[in-house]
Amino acid sequence: MLNTMVLIRTDNFDKALIALADLVRYAGMEIRGKPRIIPPALSDWAFEKLVGEKPKKKYRAHVVAQIDLPPSKAIGRLREIHPPAHIIVIPPDSPVHRELLKMWGTFEVLKGFYPPKKSRKGEESEE
């Protein structure tokens, strides 16, 4: 089973890191693997394919991450939170998803992302 992806478009990588943390903390998503940095042109192409129009705003930071939710659930949870970024859900059955997955290994890993700890009952924190 393929993971849904999210495309995060924002002004800088600090905001991208905050947006990823928000997805975990407030939207209850689990980030699978390490988020990757993608070229702006590829991000714009993905945006156009998924949204059906050319992006109106230029962003400097473009990050893609795999998450543990089906697209419809991810979209619903995104509507409930307000991360400091423009986030688009990429369904596993889309051409954009296939293209990004093919190129995944060539993308630079986003440094500095450590998922916020989720507290589980009966588990001791290691801090």
* DSSP labels, 30-88: -EEEEEEE--HHHHHHHHHHHHSS--SS--SEEEEEEESS-HHHHHHHHHH---SSEEE
Q: Enter the pTM of the model.
A: 0.88
Task: Give the pLDDT confidence of 10-60 residue by residue, as tens digits.
Answer: 999 999 999 999 999 999 999 999 999 999 999 999 999 999 999 999 999
23 within 8 A of 83, measured Cβ to Cβ: yes
- The whole-chain average pLDDT of the chain stands at 90
How would residue 1 be classed by pLDDT, with cut points 50, 70 and 90? low
Please say whether the structural domain 4-109 has been given the CATH code 3.30.70.
yes
Q: Express each pLDDT in 90-114 by its tens digit.
A: 999 999 999 999 999 999 999 999 8
Give the C-alpha separation, 31 to 35, whole Å. 8
Task: Supply 113's token pair.
Answer: 């992302």
What are the boundaries of each domain within the chain? 4-109
